Amino acid sequence: MSNTTDTSDDRSEERRGGAGSVQSVDRAVSVLEILAKLGDAGVTEISEELGVHKSTAFRILGVLENRGLVEQEKERGKYYLGAGVLRLAGAAAIRLDISQEGQPVCRALADETGETANIAVLDGDAAVNIMQARGAAAVTAYNWLGRRTPLHATASGKVLLAHLPQQRRETLVTRKLPRFTENTLTTAAGVREQLTAVLQDGFACTNEELEIGLNAVAAPVRAHDGAVIGAIGVSGPAYRMERRLLPELAERSAKAAAELSRRMGYAG
C-alpha cells in the first residue's frame, strides 16, 4: 500500500472527531493486529501496512506505547506487543474461566437452595451477571443474564465493591447513588458501613434494595492470587427468602464461592 497520505490531512481528520476518531481507533487496533501477525515491526513497515504516512504511524505507536500495549526494542527500533495486551487478555481469560468453571457450581447452588443462583463480575461501575441457574422453587422466568446491576443495591455488587482498591471504592461510594426502593442505601456512610460488614462476614445480603419483593445473598470468588474476580449467590422472593434465612443462604453461597475459588486455583 502507499504511504503517501498527507500528514496534515491525518491530523485535521483526527481533530474533527466523529468518523476521524473512529478511523484513529481502527488504525490503532490494526497496529495491534499487525504486530500480533508479524511479531515485531518498524515504523516504516507498519505505515506501509496501514497505508499512512510514517509520522501518523509513529503517533499511533506513541499512544499505544504510553498505554503499555506496545513496547519498542531500543537496539533495533522495532515494536512488539506489550504487557498491557497480556493484562487485557488475562482479564478476558479470567471471565471465560469463571464461566466455564462456575457452571457446575452455580447449578449445584441452585439445586441446593431451590432459588436462582447467579455469578457476577465487575463491569466498570456495575456488576454484570454472566451465569444463571434456576432451582426447583424459582418459578419465575426472569432472566438476569447479561444484566448490569448497581453495585450498592445488589448482594453481588456489594461483594465486588467491598473488595475494590480503596481509592476506586471511595470514588464509587461518594458519587450520587440512585434510590430504587425505600430500603436502598444512598449515603456514602451507610454504604461504607455495609461494605465493612461484607469484609468481616465474608458475604453480602440485600433486603428489597433493588426491587420490592426481591432478596439476595452473595459471596466473593477469588483467583489463584487471592484477588476477588467475581461473586456467586442466590436471589429470590422476599416471602420465601425471609430476612431471618439470609445468613444460612449466605453460608451456602460462601461454600459455593470457596469451591469455585478452588477451581480457579485459589488455595487459601
Please give the torsion angle defined by the CA atoms of residues 149, 155, 157 and 161, in that order, rounded to the nearest 10 degrees: 160
- Of how many residues is the chain composed? 268
Per-residue pLDDT, 218: 98
Average pLDDT, the chain: 86
CA–CA separation, 78 and 42 (whole Å): 4
Per-residue pLDDT, 109: 96
From residue 3, give the alpha-carbon distance in Å to each of 52, 92, 170: 5, 35, 48
Task: Report DSSP state, residue 114.
Answer: S
Q: Tell whether pTM > 0.85.
A: no
Per-residue pLDDT, 3: 43
CA–CA separation, 36 and 34 (whole Å): 5
Task: Report DSSP state, residue 226.
Answer: S
CA–CA separation, 132 and 117 (whole Å): 6
Count CB atoms within 10 A of the CB of residue 95: 16
Which positions of the chain have pLDDT values less than 70? 1-20, 75, 86-87, 89-96, 139-142
| Angle, CA of 135, 140 and 142, to the nearest 5° | 105
CA–CA separation, 188 and 38 (whole Å): 50
C-alpha cell at 155: 448482594
CA–CA separation, 162 and 197 (whole Å): 9
Which are the contacts of 34, defined by CB distance < 8 A and separation ≥ 6?
41, 46, 49, 50
In this structure, what are the phi and psi dihedrals at residue 265, rounded to the nearest 5 degrees? Answer: 100, 5
CA–CA separation, 85 and 67 (whole Å): 10
